[in-house]
Amino acid sequence: MNAQRIFFHIRRASLLGAAIFCCASALTQENKSAQLPSKQERSSKPMEPESVRLELTIPSDAHSNKTVVFKVPQNASVSLQVKSERAGELHIHAYRLSLTLKDQDTQSLKFEAKASGKFNIEWHPKPSTNKDPKQEAHEHAHAHSHAAPLASLEVQPL
């Protein structure tokens, strides 16, 4: 046999071997994919957002040293039920949410916890009308100072 013919047979054999290897590899991949869903299939399944109901009671003397901590998963649908003995405003500043409450009032604040992190929940009581003006001014200034927050919301990333 001449060299050109030998080269032809070697090349044909290597191509045939490569084709057999590719087919075997494809069959193996096919079996694996039949057993486990692909990454795309796993991520395309819609996940239901978790619903979380939180309750917060604000006493007439809301500025204490004890801060309530609420922990929720990111993307949760949050319903914050707030009961207050005194009129005022509740703020979740990072989410730009607020709730105005009257004396002995209960209201709900609903939102999606999209941003992760720790967010202060602050209470700003409305000055009562039966106090002297100096006491009212002191309470108003104290309510808007940077005292410890009433509560904090910890949105934990997935």
| Ranges under pLDDT 50 in the chain | 15-37, 41-42, 140, 143
Does 113 lie in the same domain as 35?
no
* CATH number, residue 73: 2.60.40.420
Does 130 lie in the same domain as 58?
yes
pLDDT at position 24 is 42
How far apart, in whole angstroms, are the C-alpha atoms of residue 31 and residue 28?
A: 5
pLDDT at position 16 is 45
Does 71 lie in the same domain as 33?
no
Q: Is the dihedral of CA 88, 92, 95, 101 positive or negative?
A: negative
Q: Give pLDDT tens digits for 31-44.
A: 444 444 455 544 55
pLDDT at position 72 is 97
Smallest CA-to-CA distance from 63 within 9, 124, 22, 129 is with: 124
Write out the residue range of the structural domain in which residue 8 sits: 3-44
pLDDT at position 60 is 82
Does 69 lie in the same domain as 36?
no
Total domains, the chain: 2
Does 16 lie in the same domain as 38?
yes
Does 12 lie in the same domain as 65?
no
Does 104 lie in the same domain as 32?
no
pLDDT at position 65 is 63
pLDDT at position 14 is 53
Does 84 lie in the same domain as 64?
yes
pLDDT at position 75 is 96
Q: Based on DSSP, count helices (H) and strands (E) in the chain, helices before strands.
A: 3, 8
